[in-house]
Amino acid sequence: MATEGGVGLGLEMETSGLQRHPKKPGKHGSGAADLAQATDSEEKGIESTNLQAAVSVTGDRRSREDKAKQEREKELAKVTIKEEDVERIMTEMQISRAAAERSLQEHMGNVVAALIA
């Protein structure tokens, strides 16, 4: 044990040469396994029917969403709003005419609900 000024530092010198530490497992030790699995997947190939089904499902969902949006816009267009209500919301909330009209349409012409929102 080395001492300095009478205080034991607790340091020991290794004189027997280099000491090998056991290999610690890394955080990403499964990289080789992941690569092998990916390679196996590529070798099997992607079935085109699965890909076509996924594309079809995605396209169907988009078309349903677009149709729902169009129907909502048609419903909102049917709502009658008063010009004075639009002006009131524009001045009170300091927003554009389009935003004021949209807010009134979404709240079926109810000025109080549009102002609160």
How much is the pLDDT for 51?
A: 78
How much is the pLDDT for 100?
A: 92
Whether the model clears a pTM of 0.75, i.e. scores above it, the answer is no
CB count within 10 Å of CB 81 equals 20
Going residue by residue through the chain, which has 117 residues, state the pLDDT in tens, using 9 for 90 and above.
555 555 555 555 555 555 565 565 555 555 666 666 666 555 555 566 777 888 888 888 898 999 999 998 888 888 888 999 999 999 988 999 999 999 999 899 889 998 888
Domain locations in the chain? 71-117
| DSSP letters spanning the chain | --EETTEE-------S---PPPPPPPTTTTHHHHHHHHHHHHHH---HHHHHHHHHHHHHHHHHHHHHHHHHHHHHHH----HHHHHHHHHHHT--HHHHHHHHHHTTT-HHHHHH-
